[in-house]
Structure 1
Amino acid sequence: MIGFYFPGVGENFEYDVRGLLTSFFPGEEIKKIPGALTEEEQRAAGFRVVYAVPEPDFTRPYEDLKNSFMRRVYDELRVLSGTDLPWGTLTGIRPTKLIMQMLEEGRRPVEIAEHMRRIYYLDGEKLSLAIAIAQRERAVLAGLSGPEGWSLYVGIPFCPSRCSYCSFTSYPIEKAASKVEPYLETMFYEMDQSIPLMKGVIPDTIYIGGGTPTALSAGQLDRLLDKICRSVPADRVKEFTVEAGRPDSITPEKLQVMRNYPVTRISVNPQTMQQRTLDTIGRLHTVEDIVRAFGMARDAGFDNINMDLILGLPGETSADVQDTLAQLKPLAPESLTVHALAIKRASRLRREDNGSGEEDRFGPAYEKDEPAAMMRAASSGAQEMGLFPYYLYRQKNMAGNLENVGYAAPGKEGLYNILIMEEKQSILAVGAGNISKAVYPDGRIERADNVKGLEEYRLRIEEMIERKRKLWL
Structure 2
Amino acid sequence: MVRIILNDRSYEYDVYTLVIAFFQGIPVSVCTPDSQNGRASGDVPGTYRDGLDTGQEEGILSREQLTIEVTISDRSITAEARRADQLLVRQTAKAGEKLQTGQLPESLAWTQLPESQKRLSVKNALKRCLYGCLSSLTGRTLPWGDLTGIRPVKLASALLENDRDEASAEADLQAEYLVSARKAGLAVSIASREQRILRKMHPERGYSLYIGIPFCPSICLYCSFSSGTIRVWQKETDHYVDALIHEMASCGRHAERPCFPGRELQTVYIGGGTPTTLTAQQLERVCCALEEHFDMDRVLEFTVEAGRPDTITEEKLAVLRKHRVSRISINPQTMNQKTLDLIGRKHTVEQTEEAFRLARSMGFDNINMDLIVGLPGEGPEEVDRTMSALERLDPDDITVHALALKRAARLALHMDEYESISFQASDEIMERAHQTCRRLGMTPYYLYRQKNMAGNFENVGYAKAGHAGLYNILIMEEVQSILALGASGSTKVIYPGGRIERIENVKDVRSYLDRIDEMIQRKDVLR
TM-score, normalising length: structure 1: 0.93
2:4 equivalent to 1:4? yes
1:363 to 422, 437, 452: 422
Alpha-carbon displacement from aligned partner over 1:274-309 (angstroms, at most 9, x marks no partner): 010000001111111110000000011100000000
Once the two structures are superposed, what CA deviation does each residue of 1:397-444 show, in whole Å capped at 9, x if it has no partner? Answer: 100000000000011000000000000000000011121000012221
Contact kept? 1:147, 1:440, Cα under 8 Å: no
Q: Residue 339 of structure 2 contacts residue 378 of structure 2 at CA under 8 Å; is this kept in 1?
A: yes
What are structure 1's unaligned runs of at least 5 residues?
none
**Aligned residue in 2 for 1:50:** 67
> Could you tell which deviates more after superposition, 266-275 or 373-382?
373-382
Is this contact kept in 1: 2:14–2:123, CA < 8 A?
Answer: no
Any idea what the Cα deviations from partners look like across 1:419-471, whole Å, max 9, x if unmatched? 0000000000001112100001222111011111111112222222222222x
- The CA distance in 1 between the partners of 2:124 and 2:61, in whole Å, is 35
| CA-CA distance at 1:183 after TM superposition | 1.1
* TM-fit CA distance, 1:111: 1.9
Residue 410 of structure 1: aligned partner: 465
Secondary structure of residue in 1 paired with 2:455: helix
Percent identical residues: 46
Contact 1:234 1:262 in 2 (8 A): no
Q: Report the equivalent of 2:202.
A: 145
Give the conservation status (yes or no) of the 8 Å contact 1:264–1:304: yes
CA shift digits 1:207-227 (9 cap, x unpaired):
000000001011111111111
Report what 1:375 is aligned to. 430
How far apart, in 1, do the equivalents of 2:62 and 2:171 lie?
Answer: 43
Shift of 1:80: 2.4
Report the Cα offset of residue 385 of structure 1: 0.9
1:160 equivalent to 2:222? Answer: no
Question: Quick one: which amino acid aligns to residue 10 of structure 1?
Answer: D
2:451 counterpart of 1:396: yes
Which residue in the other structure is 2:322 paired with?
260
- Aligned with 1:171 (options 209, 221, 228): 228
Distance of 2:161 and 2:307 partners within structure 1: 35
Whole-Å Cα distance in 2 between the matches of residues 282 and 79 of structure 1?
A: 40
Does the 8 Å contact 1:25/1:81 carry over to 2?
Answer: no
**Which residue in 1 is equivalent to 2:331?**
269
Does structure 2 conserve the Cα–Cα contact (< 8 Å) formed by 1:156 and 1:213? yes
Is residue 340–residue 398 contact of structure 1 (8 Å, CA) maintained in 2?
yes
| C-alpha distance in 1 between matches for 2:65 and 2:379 | 28
- Are residues 1:315 and 2:391 paired? no
Unpaired runs of 5+ residues, structure 2, are 38-59, 76-108, 253-257
Contact 2:310 2:346 in 1 (8 A): yes
Aligned to 2:494: 439
Residues 214-262 of structure 1: per-residue CA shift (max 9 Å, x gap): 0101111111111111111224300000000000000011111111111
CA distance in 2: counterparts of 1:44 and 1:287, whole angstroms: 41
Task: Letter of the 1:268 partner, please give it.
Answer: I
Distance 1:445 1:214 in 2: 31
Q: 1:223 to 1:187 in 2, by over 3 A?
A: same
Contact 2:163 2:169 in 1 (8 A): no
Residue 465 of structure 1 corresponds to 520
Sort the Cα spacing of 1:355 and 1:5 in 2 relative to 1 into closer, same or farther, 3 A.
farther
Partner of 1:202: 264
Cα separation, 2, equivalents of 1:373 and 1:447: 38
Match for residue 406 of structure 2 among 333, 344, 360: 344
CA distance in 2, matches of 1:55, 1:162: 44
Mapped partners of 1:320, 1:44: distance in 2? 32
Q: Radius of gyration: which is bigger?
A: 2
Aligned to 2:287: 225
Alpha-carbon shift at residue 19 of structure 1 (Å): 0.8
Q: Report what 1:238 is aligned to.
A: 300
1:425 alignment partner, one of 480, 497, 515: 480
2:231 alignment partner, SS class: coil
Which amino acid in 1 is paired with 2:265? P
Q: Cα offset for 1:123?
A: 2.6
**SS of 1:363 mapped into structure 2:** coil
Asked if 2 retains the 8 angstrom alpha-carbon contact of 1:336 and 1:382, the reply is yes
Aligned residue in 1 for 2:29:
31
Q: Distance in 2 between matches of 1:29 and 1:265?
A: 41
What do you get for the CA RMSD once the two structures are aligned?
2.0
**Match for 2:29: what amino acid?**
K
Residue 22 of structure 1: aligned partner: 20
Aligned residues: 459
Aligned residues of 1:145 and 1:204 also touching (Cα < 8 A): no
Q: Return 430-439 or 60-69, whichever deviates more.
A: 60-69
